[in-house]
Structure 1
Amino acid sequence: MYKTKKIAHSISLLGLVACIGFTTSSVTAGVLSVNTTAQSTYAKTKYPLLFTHGMFGFSRVGVAEFGLDYWYQILPDLARNGATTFAAQISPLESTEVRGEQLLQQVEEVMAITGKPKVNLIGHSHGGPTIRYVEAVKPQYVASLTGVGATFRGSKVADDLLSSQTGSQLLSIATDYIIGPLITFAEGNPSLKSDLKASLTSISEKGSQVFNQKYPTTALASDCSKSGASSNNGIYYYSWTGTSQVTNVIDVADSAISLLAPISYISTDNDGLVARCSTHFGKVIRDNYDWNHLDEVNQVLGLRGLFSPDPVDVYRQHANRLKLQGL
């Protein structure tokens, strides 16, 4: 039975990477900026917004006119409402430290482009710990951190995959030499390397505990029944997550990964990949949206539950929250 669970994890994850990996085209390497005519100032924050993807993520595959953004429809909407927005282009699979160093360079690039001394960082999934790394090494660059379905305390899915030697080896071959390079080629930056084992180790519960001990933060409480600090030294902390699994049967890629966490946790108190507890960070905006892990970034192509909130609206409202906070 235990071995069967491991095989199910591997097959489901392979299904996800297959759906993402074989979309091709190219964009210029570096941060992806969104330029459009602003129609309002509702989301016009003081500092630019820099979005950071999770595992198997990308900024955009294809071109603006015909392509797929990881943060589907979210950045253009923010730009139309006055925000200055960028999507980071970092390794789809790597350790938090490696991804963090890549992100740090892009933070400095955004600061140079905009002339602003700080940025608001938003990270999904593994993007959460990744933005935390930037704050840990260069806190003067950061106005706020926002985690979305973030693996701040890790995901047991990663621990289970790592414990299955056969499954992890199969995934590593597929991802490190085929899927990862296809993703980075498709977004126009093939120099970015992939390391599935390093990525899984970083987002595992054990690896996350090591990271949090090395880079402590007041935004993470001692346990999930308590609240972390909402700010520290002028840096503000926010988070939210979903707690649904299969939300739209038409969304095949979405459904393929949404049962991984329930298998690992033997519960449904998660978004299909990450437990609710793991995502709590700073001021928790909400921790029970009717979304699964990909719905949180409006993927795939905006498919979600019929009566669930529109993620685009939630990000727009959050930008206004940052604006009102003077960020």
Structure 2
Amino acid sequence: MKKSLLLAILVLGISGLANAMSSNPNTGYTETKYPIVLVHGLFGFDEILGIDYWYKIPEILMEGGAQVFVTQVASANTPEIRGEQLIPQIEEILAITGAEKVNIFGHSHGAPTARYVASVRPELVASVTSIGGVNKGTPFASVVNDNSGSEDEFSPMIELGDAFVTGLDFISTGGFEQNFRAAFNSISEAETEKFNESHPDGVPTTACGEGDYISNGIHYFSWSGAKAVTNLLDPLELVVIAASLSFPEDELNDGAIGACSSHLGMVIRDDFKMNHLDEINQTLGIHGLGDTDPLTIYRTHANRLKQAGL
């Protein structure tokens, strides 16, 4: 059993006892019927050197009564491979909790990963929520792919990329096959179009519309930010700014994913004043002063799922 699942069981028991003893009026606000499963994006992890990918998000959801599990899949690979890595973790979560299904929250590349699982194993999934999800590709992928050379020639960028994600895998709860080139190919506009043909549930049929709210019995939701620069005190802000340069000037984006590309099912909002890292409350909770707190969005959405019987 993975370290993250063991930690979740421990925290679940502690939080349950705390909630039973507490008179906190927020108790029950995020208490969804089905467990919430968090799936990281490209270059993601569960926890590294004491820093969680989903910074304070599991805690705020569990504080209100939710059962929350942090999963880990390959930091860089295709959504199909990542999805197959996710399925046994979901099966284990269902065995631990006794639940029939789960609510999956997928950030960035975690969105198509979650959609793959919902497509091939719909009996496991109650809902999929895409958070800054790369559902119709990103021009940033074209920049990387165009500078990576062909598959049969040496590419310093690919070598460095593979070394980086292998390092991430080593220092987190990993052990997964990594493939930097395959990951970036999979988030290109052409490859996501192919993926959507095989796994179309919740995907809008128009350029910037909404998709089916419910498909094959599974509920689909999405939200995203649309502001690359939010707080220059964030040490990773420059990474997001650099990625945002791949977008046309008039295209709303969170620094990595276009607002329209993030749409899936019911679009809650695609213009939060946050960037791609703010969407997971990184770095260490630094976000735009006066802008919406990411933790509030997660709490509100968990309550939305609760009200929907999910």
**Common topology (TM > 0.5):** yes
Equivalent positions of 1:83-232 (< 5 A) are 83-165=66-148, 169-177=155-163, 179-189=164-174, 191-217=175-201, 219-232=202-215
**8 Å Cα contact 1:31-1:86 kept in structure 2:** no
Q: Does the 8 Å contact 1:49/1:85 carry over to 2? A: yes
The 1:269–1:262 alpha-carbon spacing in structure 2 relative to 1, beyond 3 Å, is: farther
- 1:224 is displaced (CA, Å) by 2.8
Equivalent residues of 2:230, 2:275 under 8 A apart = yes
Distance in structure 1 (CA, Å) of the matches to 2:148 and 2:102: 40
Q: Which structure 2 residues correspond to residues 41-80 of structure 1 after superposition, within 5 A?
A: 41-62=28-49, 67-80=50-63
Preserved CA contact (<8 Å) 1:248 1:255 = no
Checking the alignment, whether the CA contact within 8 Å between 2:240 and 2:275 is kept in structure 1 is no
Contact 2:143–2:246, Cα closer than 8 Å, also in 1: no
Please say if 1:292 is aligned against 2:275.
yes
Structure 1, residues 277-320: CA drift from partner, whole Å, max 9, x if none? 10011111111000000000000101111011110111011101
Q: For residues 111 and 292 of structure 2, what CA distance do their matches in structure 1 show?
A: 22
- Range 293-302 or range 263-272, more displaced: 263-272
Q: Is the 8 A contact 2:147 2:157 kept in 1?
A: no
Deviation (angstroms), 1:172? 1.9
- CA offset at residue 245 of structure 1? 0.7
SS at match of 1:252: coil
TM score, norm. by length of structure 1 = 0.85
Counterpart amino acid of residue 182 in structure 1: G
Hey, what's the Cα distance between the residues in 2 that align with 1:53 and 1:225?
A: 24
Counterpart code for 2:158:
S
Given residue 157 of structure 2, which amino acid in structure 1 is its aligned partner?
A: L
Q: How many residues align?
A: 294
Identify the residue that residue 28 of structure 1 maps to in structure 2: 3
In 2: Cα distance, 1:105 partner to 1:239 partner: 24
1:199-249, Cα deviation, whole Å (9 max, x unpaired): 0011111110110112222x1121234321111233111000000011111
Distance 1:204 1:232, change over 3 A: same
Could you list the runs of 4 or more consecutive aligned residues of structure 1 that deviate by over 3 angstroms after TM superposition? 29-32
Moved more, 103-112 or 288-297: 103-112
The 1-side partners of 2:173 and 2:293 are apart by 30
One-letter amino acid of the counterpart of residue 219, structure 2: Y
Look up the equivalent residue of 1:265 and give its one-letter code: P
Structure 2 counterpart of 1:146, which letter? T
**Distance of 1:325 and 1:250 partners within structure 2:** 38
Alignment RMSD (CA, Å)? 1.8
Could you tell which deviates more after superposition, 161-170 or 256-265?
161-170
Amino acid at match of 1:128: A
Q: Take 2:137 and 2:98, find their aligned partners in 1: how far apart are those partners?
A: 35
Q: Contact 1:93/1:196 (CA < 8 Å) preserved in 2?
A: yes
* Mapped partners of 1:252, 1:122: distance in 2: 25
CA spacing shift, 1:165–1:261, aligned 2, 3 Å? same
CA distance in 1, matches of 2:129, 2:38: 9
Q: Which amino acid aligns with 1:28?
A: K
CA distance in 2, matches of 1:200, 1:166: 13
Give the unaligned 5+ runs of structure 1.
Answer: 1-26
Take 1:116 and 1:324, find their aligned partners in 2: how far apart are those partners? 18
Per the alignment, residue 263 of structure 1 pairs with: 246
Stretch moving more, 268-277 or 126-135: 268-277
Aligned to 1:11: none
Paired residues of 1:258 and 1:271 also in contact (CA < 8 A): no
Distance in structure 1 (CA, Å) of the matches to 2:219 and 2:77: 26
Deviations 1:116-167 (A, max 9, x none): 1100000000000000000110011110000000000011110221011369
* 1:182 to partner: Cα distance: 2.1
Shift of residue 259, structure 1, vs aligned partner: 3.4
**What is the DSSP-based 3-state SS (H/G/I as helix, E as strand, rest coil) of the residue aligned with 2:155?**
helix
The one-letter code matched in structure 2 to 1:287 is D
Contact 2:39/2:104, CA 8 A, preserved across alignment = yes
SS in 1 for 2:290: coil
